[in-house]
Structure 1
Amino acid sequence: MGQSQPITRLPVLIIEDEPVLRIDAIAMVERAGFEAVEAMSVENAIVILERRPDIRILYMDLDMPRGVKGIEIAAMIRSRWPPIEIVLTAATFVAADLDLPVRSEFYAKPIDRLQVVAAMRRMAGHLPG
């Protein structure tokens, strides 16, 4: 018999500061077959991205505390890590009002989990490897 290769799940970085919403996003991502990597803040996410070059999909809440502008953070991540696909969500924004970074998609809260998972799978299908 041939040796089997270990199954590796594509990691998805989740940036969500609200614990209940982060737990919900982690469950959604893991049920979809991805590896959930959690970040409780933008600063925490940057550290993770610097250490994890295998992350190619980001799921991020734009509603950030303390005046942080989530859309600017998403644009910075797009600029610094061009290969990353971005899924953005928020309760206080409307897609038409946002200048979305290239290769990103926006979903208003409450999100439709099936649509978000379909977007992640579509994004994963476009990744090299």
Structure 2
Amino acid sequence: MPGDLTGPEAALRSNGISVESLSRGDTLALTYLTAFPGASVNHQEMGRACNTFIELTEEGAWDPVPVEATVVRAPGDVQGRWRLDPDWIRDLGAYRISEEEFSARVLDTLEEPAVGEP
């Protein structure tokens, strides 16, 4: 099963992101099980996921599309949601924005429902 994976899912898993589901289309919808099931989404874990998409793009292994990520503590227990715009990856690669600006943009999209909220 994991040995048969390719592309973004395999890359995410190899970077310690526990992919629960991934669907591709005009948007890549990612749901992952956090290794840090506290009240807030772990920013380092978000960073690992973002870095995976950046690396895939730099390697020519992925043509960036918008990413809609849902972070869960357990199935049905949403810890938060965040987005990644493909233009941010392109801007970072072209040195139009810094790594700090890139991170700030992603963090600005983070939504964390109150505990118990879907």
Whether these two folds match at TM > 0.5 is no
What TM-score results when the alignment is normalised by the length of structure 2? 0.31
Q: TM-score by structure 1 length?
A: 0.30
Greater Cα radius of gyration, structure 1 or 2: 1
